[in-house]
Structures are given as C-alpha cells and as structure tokens.
C-alpha cells in the first residue's frame, strides 16, 4: 500500500486540492466571511473518503453520506443501479439519482429507499437512460452539504436534518424542468397534491420485517406545472394522474424552464402523519437550503469538536476528521419525536409502536471492538440509551440484536451484544438491568435463533459438550474463540452484579480458546468431533474453520486473556516472535474454501505488511498485544505504520471495508494514543499518538488532554509518561481516568525506551493473571 500511495501521490494532492476548493465554494455560497475564517472540524471532512471501491477490491466501500450524526437516514448521489449495494463508486462518471439511504454496508445492501433525479427537456424515468454525466471537479462532498453540477446543466445541492433533508435543483434556462421520483425496487405508493406543491407516499423495499414501510412527505417551493406517475414495468408516464400504488415506479413533476426548485423531505417508519410532524419540527423554519446547511454544520462541529486535534499535518487532520465523521454516522436513530416532543418508534421486531429509543444499522461483529467503546466516553448519554434498547429488542423478539438492519439479520458470528453491555457496565453506564442482560445472554448462548449464524449460538450443543465448535460446523474455530470471549463478558457482568449462579455457569467456558490451540503448529486450528485436528493444515489458507481470514489472523482472538495465550505460545519471547512473524511472513494466501480471491485477501496483499490484514476486523487489535509481553515500543512502531501507510482522506482512504464505523474508530482511537483491546474491561491500551495535542471534550463539561511532546513521523516512541503530573509506567489507561478529566503527557523520541512499561504490573488486564477471579475459574 505504501508503494501504491507513493506512486499516486500527485493524484492524491490534486484531489485534496479539489476538496479544499470545494470548501471555499460552499463558504462563498453561504457567506464570504465564513470562507475566509479558520477551518472547522467539519470543513476537514471529505465524505468521498473510501468511495473508490468495487466488489473485487475495496478502499472502504463507503458513499458520500450527507447526514447528521446518528441520523435516521442519509442522502447520497447514486451512481449504481437500483438494488446495487455499491450505490456510489468514485470511478463512475454518471449519476442516476439523489437517494435517501440507510445502508451501513454494501454487502447488506439497503432498505426503504427512494430517490429524486432532475432531467431537462423531457421526463426520463428509466434509471439508465436518465443517468447524467458529472465531474468530480464539479462536486463538493461535506457531511452538511453536497453539491454537484451535472452535464445536463442542472446543479443539485443537498443539506440534511436528522430525519429529512432539503434539496435544491437549479435548472438551465433552456428546456422544461422535470423531477423524477423513483420508488426503487419494491412497493411504492404516492399521491401528488398539485396545488399544494406536495407529494405524500411510502416505499417498501429491501430485506424488511413484515409491515415496515418508509412514509415520506415532500414540499416544493415552486409551482408544479404538470404531474404524472409511472410504473416500473412499462416506464410510461401517465400525465395528469396524481396517484400511484404498486410494485415499483414513481412520479414525475414538471416545472418551468430555469426554475430553482427547493424541496423539503421528511420520512417516518410510523405512519403518514409522523413525517408531517417531522417536517414541521426539523424543516419548518428554514426557507433556504443555506439555513439547513448552516444548522447541520453547527451540529457536526459540535460532535466532531468533542475531539480537538492540534499539531498534525493538513492531511493527517483531514484523515482524522473524515474517519471521525464516518464513525459518527452509525448506529442510526430509529426513534422519532411525536407531537408531544417525546421519543417513540415503530419496532421492526414486533410491529408495534413503543415509547422510548431504538437504534439500528450496525453489526456488532465489527463495532464491538472499537466504535462502541469510543462511544462510552464520547457519547455516554446516547450510548446508555442504546444499551437499554438492546434489552427492549430482547423483550420484543426474544433475542438480543447482533446485526440490526433494521430488524435482526443475524449476520457474521459471535454473541457480541453482551460485550456492549459488559463494557458499558464496566465503564459506569447503569441504564439497564444487569439481571435481564444476563438472562438474555444465557438464552442467546444456549439456543440457536431463527436468523443467521450470529442470532443465538450456532453450534452451541457441540460447544457445550466438547468445549469447542468442531470443524464440520462452518467457521467452527473462529466461533469457539469468539464464544469464549463473549462468555468472559457474561461471566464478568454476572460476577460484579452478584449473580453467582450465572457467573459459575460462564466461568466454565472462558478458557475454551485453549481447546482449539495446537502447540505443534502454534496456531488455533480446526478440530474434529473426535478430537483430532483437521488434516492438511496451511496457516495461510482462508476459510474453513476461520471467518474471513486464516490461522495467522485468528490466533490472536483471545482478547480477555492475552497472558493465557502467551503461555500457550511459550512465553514472552516466543509470543513477541509470533507477533513479529505476522509482519515478516509472506503476504501470499491460499483461497481455501472460498474458491476464489475475496477482496480481503487482495487488500492484505496490496498492504504489503506480511499476513497483517487490517482491512478486516479480527486482527485489528493485534498490534497492541506487544504491550502484554514487555515490548510496548513495537506496538508504538506498528500502530504508527498502520496509520501512516493504510489510511488517507481520499477516495482510496481505507485498506478494506469500513463497515459501520469500526475501521474508522480504530484510526480515531489510535490517533488519540490508545485502543480498546478487550471491551468488557475498563482499560485502553496505549499506542503512539499522532498529534501533538488531542483534547477530548466530555459530556460532563470537563476535558481529557493527550499531549505528545516532540511527536513526529520519526518520533513515534514513548520515552516517558505522566498522568495528571504523576509518572505513568503502565501500558494502559483506565476509563475513569479519561472521564474524570485530566491530562496525559507523553515525551516522544526516535528510538525505543526499552526500560519503560516492561514490568509485569505494567501489562493490561488478562483473566488468567487477575487474582480477584482466580478462585472462580477452572484450572489450566
């Protein structure tokens, strides 16, 4: 990847220059004074980061989402066909619509989608025929504002609210002006109020629970000259008609040539009335798109301003805030505000209306690792609501969420809702009943649910009987490792909340990772039901007993007991040698049971860091494990290498999938100087800060400041550390030390300090060396 970046540095600088010009254009559109002022965090964000992706190779699999933090929906230009998960790809040169989206991953596609597209001279409803060419030089992509000029002469602008947006279409003076409403791939209904300049309707598309619809209302500020509706099958416009209901299709509105048409859009999952209330509440006072953009920018600056970084380069700052923006898009708020000002939501789990909060569009297999721990100190109030809503979902469908989109999909592996609950409790969030949490998790761990492998526990009977998931069950070794970690979280939460029976139950399985470790090869391996290892082992072979990886990636998935893993591998020196081996090994791969090179394999090879595959989540904590074996300086070196070589702020900005904010959260946390290796504990492992100064603004009003004196590209090694003026030798911070406010001062240098952080007491938490748990746990 480094070679690739060096080879394309000129192109990257050009694209960065275009991005900066865009900031000036937008500032001029609002007020000349703002364009001349200092850049705010939101100005640094490039929402095109990671968009140059495709099925075979991803640089993020993102799209330029114009949205508010955690908003219910997002708006984006659409370069791909309806129903395609790759809704915007940087290398394409036509746009076929401006779309309301909820998509958190191209692999899971989207739901409840509709779009608007301007055409000139004639109403073209076919999505391929209406596609208009554009140039990135005519495109501005910010969280609070999107603008593009199409080859047809139409300029399109968008600015978001939490559950809606304002769009503006500036048509050329020659040719009739049309707006095409496209209901996407599923059910569609709409009624056009010609005189009232309004459309109300609904869409239902994507993988949805029964009964869920997206109701919308649109209000236009220009008179509608003529209207019509069309169907997906024949694509013929029935002019003069004002209502349509059916499978696909949409509507068309005609405006005068040269019109500047602003449209306010709001939507709801509740009923036809709620989007009217939302439009009044979120857009009612705004007459111009600039007002909506100003308000959105203020919201983003408040959110992004909670992490203030200083002393980095322009590119480092742009990468940081672009990643931070992406982290704060998910999870989406699924709740809405009623006429009484109180939150309520339509549940995708039981199809009923409930009071309170619900969130969706996230997969815990990705986000439990870094993104959710980040929110425990960044947005603890909202995160507390989120944790409580997990148990509401359990009440409504009988299961804890694992991959909500918007109901439960059960994708990937593991039972990671318990990690969020344990992590929140460890960090002082008390918004849920821990007894209900353990009840829900025990049910999850001893049953298989109706949706996907991560709903309930796939292979739970064999896991309980054998102590591992055997190799005849798909991805059995990876499941064993994640179940053991999840059981640790269940054990810990039960123990600290005096649920003795449950803590004893889960204590029996927290060391099950040992049952798939082969001392002869030094890897976690597939194991048959009779106890024999699966034959023909190849450490670079993907699939089989592993999830989206190989043995080199999965041997490290013992987050709760790294000391125990060190023992299995033969002690500190052998463990460090194994860690070093990840980076020095070949970057070749064996496609294994996948049968072809999936994009994660290709991305690992391009990164050229041996078997280190940062583009996928299971290994992302691995560089921090040197801190558990007395050589923290190697963590400091490799963390910096990964930040510098694998991330940037451009369309090629990620080394793989950026699913729901996790890969971004890794960068955000690492740039601050620490990472959450083991969610479910209250510790963050120290790395190497990227900026001279980073200030974390706390909801309490306090601050925690990380100062890295002398930090530079070469000065990545910690020479000494002080926490609140006292020497700090350990390689971790406590959550309370952050949220109580204070300062961490690190003196950085070009060579490792091999005397600092090497004592046993300097190492982060490991279950097998934690004296307070020793009497509960089975012997080695």
Q: Once rounded to an integer, what is the mean pLDDT over residues 682-702?
A: 98
Would you say residue 104 lies in a domain? yes
Residues 100-123 pLDDT 10s: 999 998 988 999 999 999 999 999
What counts of helices (H) and strands (E) characterise the chain?
A: 22, 35
Would you say residue 512 lies in a domain? yes
For 651, counting Cβ atoms within 10 Å of its Cβ (0-12 exposed, 13-18 middle, 19+ buried), the class is buried
pLDDT at 30 over 50: no
The CATH code of the domain that includes 108 is 2.70.98.10
Residues 143-185 pLDDT 10s: 999 999 999 999 999 999 999 999 999 999 999 999 999 999 9
User: Is the Cβ–Cβ distance between 75 and 100 less than 8 Å?
Assistant: yes
Domain-ending residue, one of 304, 320, 337: 304
Which one, of 605, 579, 603, lies nearest residue 658 by Cα? 603
Spatial separation of the C-alpha atoms in residues 709 and 689, rounded to whole Å: 10
Q: Which of 31-40, 53-62, 241-250 has the lowest mean pLDDT?
A: 31-40
b/e for 238-256, b at 16 or more Cβ within 10 A?
A: eeeebebeeebbbbbbbbe
Would you say residue 757 lies in a domain? no
Q: Once rounded to an integer, what is the mean pLDDT over residues 553-570?
A: 98
Same domain (yes/no): 635, 715:
yes
Task: Compute CA distances 601 → 181, 366, 597, 605, 620, whole Å.
Answer: 40, 18, 6, 6, 15
Q: Which of 25-34, 217-226, 342-351 has the lowest mean pLDDT?
A: 25-34
What pLDDT was estimated at residue 36? 56
What pLDDT was estimated at residue 537? 98
Q: Once rounded to an integer, what is the mean pLDDT over residues 664-668?
A: 98
Q: Once rounded to an integer, what is the mean pLDDT over residues 409-419?
A: 96
Token pair for 610: 């041996």
Angle of the 476-496 helix axis to the 417-426 helix axis, nearest 10 = 30
Residues 361-384 pLDDT 10s: 999 999 999 999 999 999 999 999
User: Is the Cβ–Cβ distance between 556 and 611 less than 8 Å?
Assistant: no
Same domain (yes/no): 296, 374:
no
Would you say residue 16 lies in a domain? no
Same domain (yes/no): 416, 269:
no
pLDDT at 33 over 80: no
Spatial separation of the C-alpha atoms in residues 405 and 407, rounded to whole Å: 5
Domain-ending residue, one of 304, 321, 348: 304
Find the domain containing 537 and state its range.
361-727+765-775
Q: What is the number of other CB atoms lying within 10 angstroms of the CB of residue 432?
A: 21
| Domains of the chain: total | 2
End-to-end CA distance of the chain: 42
What pLDDT was estimated at residue 128? 97
- The pTM of the full predicted model, rounded to 2 decimals, is 0.95
> 189 phi and psi, to 5 degrees?
-145, 140
User: Is the Cβ–Cβ distance between 195 and 276 less than 8 Å?
Assistant: no
Looking at the DSSP bridge assignments, the partners of residue 262 are 168
Spatial separation of the C-alpha atoms in residues 498 and 496, rounded to whole Å: 6
Spatial separation of the C-alpha atoms in residues 756 and 40, rounded to whole Å: 37
Would you say residue 81 lies in a domain? yes
Same domain (yes/no): 374, 291:
no
Residues 203-243 pLDDT 10s: 999 989 889 999 999 999 999 999 999 998 888 999 999 99
Residues 280-300 pLDDT 10s: 999 999 999 999 999 999 999
Q: What is the number of other CB atoms lying within 10 angstroms of the CB of residue 219?
A: 20
What pLDDT was estimated at residue 3? 32
Same domain (yes/no): 421, 521:
yes
Residues 748-778 pLDDT 10s: 999 999 999 999 999 999 999 998 888 888 8
Domain-ending residue, one of 288, 304, 320: 304
pLDDT band of 25, cuts 50, 70, 90? very low
Same domain (yes/no): 283, 398:
no
Angle of the 476-496 helix axis to the 500-507 helix axis, nearest 10 = 150
pLDDT at 37 over 80: no
Same domain (yes/no): 289, 403:
no
pLDDT at 5 over 90: no
User: Is the Cβ–Cβ distance between 562 and 628 less than 8 Å?
Assistant: yes
Helix (H) or strand (E) holding 551: helix 551-554
Would you say residue 465 lies in a domain? yes
Q: Once rounded to an integer, what is the mean pLDDT over residues 383-409?
A: 96
Same domain (yes/no): 127, 265:
yes
User: Is the Cβ–Cβ distance between 106 and 53 less than 8 Å?
Assistant: yes
Would you say residue 182 lies in a domain? yes
Would you say residue 367 lies in a domain? yes
What pLDDT was estimated at residue 413? 97
The CATH code of the domain that includes 462 is 1.20.1610.10
Same domain (yes/no): 275, 418:
no
Same domain (yes/no): 697, 576:
yes
Token pair for 290: 């600039």
Task: Compute CA distances 550 → 252, 415, 533, 589, 618, whole Å.
Answer: 52, 21, 15, 9, 10
Which one, of 373, 348, 420, lies nearest residue 102 by Cα? 348
In the numeric block, the tokens 């910690």 are attached to 718
Residues 446-485 pLDDT 10s: 999 999 999 999 999 999 999 999 999 999 999 999 999 9
pLDDT at 85 over 70: yes
Which one, of 422, 427, 428, lies nearest residue 441 by Cα? 422
């Amino acid at each position: 990847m480094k070679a690739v970046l060096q080879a394309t540095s000129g192109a990257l600088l050009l694209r960065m220059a275009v991005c900066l010009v865009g900031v000036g254009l937008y500032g001029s559109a609002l007020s000349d004074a703002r364009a001349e002022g200092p850049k705010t965090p939101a100005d640094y964000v490039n929402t095109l980061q990671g968009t140059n992706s495709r099925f075979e190779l991803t640089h993020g699999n993102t799209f330029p989402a114009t949205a508010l933090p955690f908003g219910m929906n997002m708006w984006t230009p659409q370069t791909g066909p309806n129903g395609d998960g790759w809704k915007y790809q940087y290398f394409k040169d036509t746009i076929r619509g401006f779309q309301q989206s909820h998509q958190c991953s191209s692999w899971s596609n989207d739901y409840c989608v509709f779009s608007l597209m301007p055409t000139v001279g004639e109403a073209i409803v076919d999505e391929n025929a209406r596609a208009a060419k554009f140039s990135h030089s005519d495109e501005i992509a910010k969280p609070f504002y999107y603008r593009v000029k199409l080859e047809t002469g139409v300029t399109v602008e968008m600015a978001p609210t939490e559950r809606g947006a304002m769009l503006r279409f500036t048509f050329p003076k020659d040719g009739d002006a049309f707006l095409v409403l496209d209901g996407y791939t599923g059910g569609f209904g709409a009624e056009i109020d010609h005189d009232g300049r309004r459309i109300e309707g609904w869409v239902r598309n994507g993988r949805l629970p029964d009964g869920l619809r997206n109701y919308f209302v649109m209000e236009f500020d220009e008179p509608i000259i003529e209207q019509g509706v069309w169907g997906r099958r024949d694509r013929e416009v029935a002019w003069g008609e004002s209502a349509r209901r059916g499978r696909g299709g949409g509507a068309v509105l005609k405006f005068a040539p040269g019109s500047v048409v602003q449209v306010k859009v709001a939507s709801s999952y509740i009923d036809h009335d709620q989007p009217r209330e939302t439009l009044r509440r979120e857009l009612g006072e705004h007459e111009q798109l600039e007002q909506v953009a100003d308000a959105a920018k203020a919201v983003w600056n408040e959110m992004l301003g909670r992490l203030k970084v200083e002393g980095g380069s322009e590119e480092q700052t742009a990468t940081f805030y672009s990643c931070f923006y992406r982290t704060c898009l998910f999870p989406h708020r699924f709740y809405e505000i009623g006429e009484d000002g109180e939150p309520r939501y339509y549940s995708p789990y039981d199809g009923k209306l409930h009071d309170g909060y619900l969130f969706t569009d996230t997969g815990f297999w990705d986000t439990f690792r870094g993104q959710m721990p980040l929110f425990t100190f960044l947005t603890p109030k909202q995160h507390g609501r989120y944790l409580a809503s997990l148990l509401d979902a359990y009440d409504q469908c009988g299961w804890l969420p694992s991959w909500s989109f918007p109901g439960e999909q059960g994708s990937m592996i593991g039972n990671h809702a318990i990690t969020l609950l344990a992590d929140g409790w460890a960090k002082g969030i008390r918004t849920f009943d821990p007894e209900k949490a353990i009840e829900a998790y025990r049910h999850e761990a001893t049953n298989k649910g109706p949706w996907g492998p991560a709903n309930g526990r796939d292979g739970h009977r064999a896991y309980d009987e054998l102590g591992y998931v055997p190799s005849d069950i798909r991805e059995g070794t990876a499941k064993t490792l994640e179940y053991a970690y999840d059981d640790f979280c269940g054990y810990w939460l039960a123990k600290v909340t005096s649920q003795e029976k449950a803590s004893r139950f889960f204590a029996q399985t927290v060391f099950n990772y040992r049952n798939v470790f082969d001392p002869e090869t030094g890897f976690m391996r597939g194991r048959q039901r009779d106890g024999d290892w699966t034959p023909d082992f190849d450490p670079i072979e993907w699939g089989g007993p592993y999830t989206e990886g190989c043995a080199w990636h999965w041997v490290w998935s013992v987050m709760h007991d790294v000391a125990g893993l060190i023992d299995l591998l033969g002690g500190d020196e052998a463990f460090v040698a194994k860690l070093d081996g990840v980076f020095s090994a070949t970057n070749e791969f064996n496609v294994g049971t996948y049968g072809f090179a999936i994009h994660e394999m290709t991305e690992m090879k391009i990164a050229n860091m041996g078997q280190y595959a940062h583009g996928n989540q299971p290994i992302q904590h691995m560089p921090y494990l040197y801190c558990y074996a007395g050589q923290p300086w190697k963590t400091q070196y490799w963390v910096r290498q990964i930040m510098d070589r694998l991330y940037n702020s451009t369309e090629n900005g990620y080394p793989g999938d950026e699913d729901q904010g996790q890969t971004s959260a890794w960068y955000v946390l690492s740039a601050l100087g620490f990472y959450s290796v083991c969610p479910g504990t209250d510790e963050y492992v120290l790395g190497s800060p990227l900026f001279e100064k980073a200030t974390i603004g706390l909801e309490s009003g306090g601050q925690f400041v990380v100062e890295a004196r002398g930090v530079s590209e070469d000065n990545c090694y910690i020479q000494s550390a002080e926490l609140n003026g006292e020497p700090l030798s350990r390689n971790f911070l406590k959550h309370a030390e952050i949220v109580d406010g204070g300062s961490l001062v690190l003196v950085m240098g070009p060579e490792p300090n091999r005397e600092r952080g090497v004592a046993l007491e300097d190492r982060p938490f490991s279950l097998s060396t934690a004296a307070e748990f020793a009497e509960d746990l089975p012997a080695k």
